[in-house]
Structure 1
């Protein structure tokens, strides 16, 4: 009987703990205590698992914080010395300096006075080029034949032959007049006219006498330099005196800036200028090119709303005469100004930033507020402090390095 009672209690205990319905008379105090003991054990185990899970989350967060190169805090952009050595990289230390008020303008590069010469046709006829390589920008020497002009097979006849015949006729008439005037058979004025005709014919003959070839009469360069432009095409008929080409020595150039009338009051303060070309996106300083201010217009010419300001400078290479440029006129000094090179700026949707060095291989992105620019440097109104080291060359490489370190992390339960 005792064995049967013990068996029934055991069944009730198991059934009650699993939540199944049991007869009422099978529940007793011992069963309740056993179930409670079993429940407590399960909750303790579950609590232990939550603790372990919480511990794993903390470890994961810690791992995320320390991802990347050791020794660099989260948010720092790592750009090593080895990476910097592989590109055009430089730093600029921000210090108060003297900046200058800048007047923006548009302008054009022109040849300086005396540095250009024109090539004109010495005879009438059909023009041909002396070389297939003859083109704008080509280098030429003084006296070098650039064109040949042939007057054969045209209605007016061979110009060279006609010039030679005219000279012979004028010479004969002049020699005869010399004899007649001695005997007072002709007047002094008739003699002077014959003499003038002879001199003109002689000049025309000498102009072609030593330059006539099988190709025609050669036309040479009056100065050495570069061909600025060619005004005719091969096979074109030209008249005596017609423009064939322009040659520039290209040693001195002019910068003509067109300044808005709103800056009229500041014109007397202008001392120099920088200009930026469109074909190579390079900024030049007249200070570095031996430039000088030539003239400042007193007013516009009436047809334009702009006032001309002209500079002259040495062409030390690469500057194209006739090109249009962006001009930064240098005006009054502004001491104790913070500036950075324009190459330090990174533009993103109208906002500008620079990269500031915070340790040997670490940088942070810093947004800045900008002031005036002289084409090479730009005023910083806010965002930087004296002593900051800013990336002045290679900023976009640092920007790319910031992208390579921004790897998102997710976690799923």
Structure 2
């Protein structure tokens, strides 16, 4: 039996054909794997919510809106310096008695304390002397008028008598005013007694007594000793510190809402002053807010929060606060509808939260449908589908 050996050319052709088939098979496998990976990638961020559970989901159509820009600051309450004044006695001497204490409300002209003043005797003597001089000058002028009418004296003598009367009257008015400053309401009463009365120190304005710096028996000096401080608490100042990055959002006249943990109500104010220089230590700028204080509830040194209404943001994109969630890295995101009961998680950048809406600075465009209600439900459902 004769055995035929394959020729070398035939063996080579068979080997080439085998290698070609193997390469084609590997190539097809790679293309199929690539297609599957792309398909998986295209749906990696999507998940489906069953139709019977869509009742938990409410969508919000993102459109440009106008937002009120707000700046939140902290501050402290202080007296309104334009409505606060020290009470300085115009009378010198020992304090006889005190009529009011801090916390009391006083009316302008109300006695606050009484002073036993040694100045009274001197002023009384001056007043008596001026009263006597005026009486003499008045009689001399009347006599001069009568003599002039009978051509008994020259006109010059009449004018001299009139000038003397005018000067005496001015001296009397000055001494009378000095007694009134001491608190003597009726200077004529000074003519009837030599006993120095307790002279009152009167409230210069209406307001609340916020400080007392004298005590009974203390010797006070006229025009120098501060006895009390009165402040009209119907308005107060709220002093806040503004960081330089926020200066563009703060202007004189901006309305401000003031809140404190002590009361549920809000107080209204306006920025009235912004300092000219930064504090070199804190790198902040001081601003003053004149605040209405109904019921005088805001007290000095009370801590408050101040929300400055600093203009508007036009054509802003915003979503309800309930739509914004955060991932494990504390990054904000929303769920966006992709149609056919499908949703995708979308990373966003956010700005301020204003009136129940959060400004979105990037990540969304007008027309996007985001989940406003039920976002937490979707987050839970998405987590379950990943396992």
Q: TM-score, normalising length from structure 1? A: 0.47
Q: TM-score, normalising length from structure 2? A: 0.49
Higher relative contact order (CA 8 A, sep 6+): 2
Structure in which a larger fraction of residues adopt strand: 2
